[in-house]
């Protein structure tokens, strides 16, 4: 298959199966060669423009890095998905990845989904025994104000089902089930589930719908979202709690994702290891070993508070700027000029104060 997109999977919303396949099967982006300043200057104008463009794409897509958080999540997911291989009449366990924004839920889950897709296709082939295309993964991203009907329709959209424009919630649901059955889908991912309309009825309707999916669809249901516990997804038998919710709770394994933390030596080592991995990927003529992991460790922690999303934004923007201005390295001064998300900016001040007083460090072997 030829890739119609010169920049790789950059502009895929992953809401259709073909996009998902492109994402899952795309070769890893290859890192542009690291040129010295002299080599860069020796390039012709055209070659230089092309190189700069490669760098922009590269720095905007640094990842995913195999962080401990990502690795742990993948281990748990493999355990659950592979133990759901029981016969069709047994209800399969569902998973909820529930954590704050910007901790890498979507990134990690998609990386897993891609691996799962490749493994299933490699083992079982592109077509099912009945001759249908095999789609091991269906992935739906919810947007604001999604109701049950929209959810069902989104599944049909993913499969490109011709009956996706007209019908009732129940009809859409039935067609979605047909797709999942004929394509032998085994993993159904509902991302940003918190966008689902939970209504005043304390989520019973939602819960029933998810239960219906879990019961009828021969899939592992993988829900991703923020504050799913608060929405009552797992609540069970509390005062006034609904028995229907308890059913979902019992069958759902909740997985979290944590930010990096520097209050233990293990935590500081993880932070450093991640910075070293990131450093490897940065393509700047004047970068040096320890640029991030030694010289900017505390600074980067303060600015991201250990949230990978904030860190990656900062590094990506910093690299764009360093290439554009010809500074060709990352430093405190250059990064100070880069804006980051508001949540990270607010948390930064307190952390920096503690670090300046020498009470806190992000670097292993240096605890005060």
Ligand X SMILES: Nc1ncnc2c1ncn2[C@@H]1O[C@H](COP(=O)(O)OP(=O)(O)OP(=O)(O)O)[C@@H](O)[C@H]1O
Positions touching Mg ion (CB under 5 A) are: 106
The footprint of ligand X on this chain (CB under 6 A) covers a number of residues equal to: 16
Cα-based angle 321, 325, 328 (whole degrees, multiple of 5): 75
Least distance CB 209 / ligand X (angstroms): 22
CB 179 within 8 A of CB 134: no
Of 20, 58, 104, 297, which lies in the binding site for ligand X, with binding defined by CB under 6 A?
104
- Six-digit token pair at 78? 């493999």
CA atoms within 13 A on the CB side of 36: 2
| 3-class secondary-structure state, position 306 | coil
Cβ 290 to ligand X, closest distance in Å? Answer: 20
Using CB under 6 A, which of 81, 98, 102, 206 touches ligand X? 102
Say whether the peptide bond before residue 64 is cis (omega within 30 degrees of 0). yes
Cβ of residue 313: shortest distance to ligand X, in angstroms?
Answer: 7
- If binding is defined by CB under 6 A, does position 139 make contact with ligand X? no
* The one among 105, 153, 186, 209 contacting ligand X by CB under 6 A: 105
Nearer to Mg ion, 106 or 297 (CB): 106
Please state the closest distance from residue 63 (CB atom) to ligand X, in A: 3
Work out which of 17, 20, 84, 107 binds ligand X, going by CB under 6 A. Answer: 107
106 sits near ligand X (criterion: CB under 6 A): yes
When asked if residue 309 is in the footprint of ligand X (CB under 6 A), the reply is yes
Q: What is the nearest approach in angstroms of ligand X to the Cβ of residue 167? A: 30
Burial of 257 (0-12, 13-18, 19+ CB in 10 A): buried
Taking the least distance from each CB to Mg ion, the nearer of 100 and 198 is 100
Structure tokens at 306: 């250990």
**Minimum distance, C-beta of residue 67 to ligand X, in the bound complex (Å):** 5
State which residue, 110 or 180, has the beta carbon closest to Mg ion: 110
Name which of ligand X, Mg ion, none residue 309 binds, using a CB cut-off of 5 to 8 Å depending on partner kind.
ligand X
The length of the chain is 368
DSSP secondary structure, 69-137, as one string: HHHHHHHHHHHHHHHT-S-TTSPPPEEEEE--TTSSHHHHHHHHHHHHHHHHHHHH-SB-TTSPBP--E
Q: Which does 64 bind (CB under 5 to 8 A by kind): Mg ion, ligand X, none?
A: ligand X
- Span from 18-26, 46-54, 307-315, 348-356 in contact with ligand X (CB under 6 A): 307-315
In this complex, which beta carbon is closest to ligand X, that of residue 137 or of residue 360? 137
Among 9, 32, 68, 101, binds ligand X (CB under 6 A): 101
- Could you give the string, one character per residue 210-229, with x where binding to ligand X holds by CB under 6 A and - elsewhere? ----------------x---
Binding mask 47-86 for ligand X (x = CB under 6 A): ----------------xxx-x--x----------------
Nearer to ligand X, 107 or 146 (CB): 107
Q: What is the distance between the alpha carbons of residues 65 and 99, in angstroms, rounded to a whole number?
A: 19
Query: In Å, how far are 170, 174, 306 from 212, measured between CA atoms?
Result: 11, 11, 38
CA dihedral 287, 293, 275, 314 (to 10 degrees): -70
Token pair 């989904």 is found at 113
| Helix ranges, 137-241 (H) | 148-159, 169-182, 204-216
Q: Token pair for residue 186?
A: 């085994």
In the block, which residue shows the tokens 């990978």? 308
d(C-alpha 341, C-alpha 331), whole Å:
19
226 binds, among ligand X, Mg ion, none (CB under 5 to 8 A by kind): ligand X
- Binding stretches for ligand X (CB under 6 A): 63-65, 67, 70, 101-107, 226, 308-309, 312
């Amino acid at each position: 298959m030829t890739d119609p997109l010169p920049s790789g999977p950059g502009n895929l919303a992953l809401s259709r199966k073909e996009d998902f396949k492109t994402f899952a099967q795309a070769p890893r982006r290859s890192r542009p060669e690291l040129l010295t300043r002299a080599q860069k200057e020796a390039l012709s104008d055209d070659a230089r423009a092309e190189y700069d463009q490669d760098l922009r794409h590269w720095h905007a897509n640094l990842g995913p890095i195999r962080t401990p958080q990502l690795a742990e999540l993948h281990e748990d997911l493999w355990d659950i998905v592979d133990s759901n291989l029981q016969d069709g009449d047994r209800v399969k366990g569902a998973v909820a990845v529930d954590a704050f924004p910007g901790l890498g839920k979507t990134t990690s889950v998609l990386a897993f989904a891609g691996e799962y897709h490749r493994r299933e296709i490699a083992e079982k082939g592109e077509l099912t025994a009945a001759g249908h295309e095999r789609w091991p993964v269906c992935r739906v991203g919810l947007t604001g104000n999604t109701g049950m009907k929209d959810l069902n329709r989104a599944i049909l959209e993913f499969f490109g089902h011709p009956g996706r424009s007209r019908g009732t919630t129940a009809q859409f649901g039935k067609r979605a089930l047909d797709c999942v059955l004929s394509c032998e889908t085994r993993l159904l991912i509902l991302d940003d589930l918190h966008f689902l309309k939970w209504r005043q009825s304390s989520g019973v309707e939602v819960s029933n719908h998810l239960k219906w999916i879990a019961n009828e669809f021969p899939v592992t249901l993988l829900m991703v979202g923020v504050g799913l516990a608060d929405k009552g997804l797992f609540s069970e038998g509390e005062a006034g709690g609904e028995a229907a919710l308890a059913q979902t709770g019992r069958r759902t394994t909740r997985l979290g994702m944590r930010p990096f933390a520097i209050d233990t030596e293990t935590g500081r080592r993880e932070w450093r290891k991640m910075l070293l991995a990131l450093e490897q990927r940065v393509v700047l003529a004047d970068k040096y070993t320890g640029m991030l992991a030694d010289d900017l460790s505390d600074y980067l922690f303060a600015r991201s508070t250990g949230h990978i999303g904030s860190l990656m934004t900062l590094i990506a923007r910093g690299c764009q700027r360093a290439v554009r201005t010809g500074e060709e390295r990352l430093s405190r001064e250059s990064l100070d000029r880069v804006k980051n998300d508001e949540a990270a900016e607010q948390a930064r001040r307190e952390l920096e104060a503690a670090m300046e007083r020498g009470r806190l460090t992000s670097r292993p072997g240096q605890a005060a």
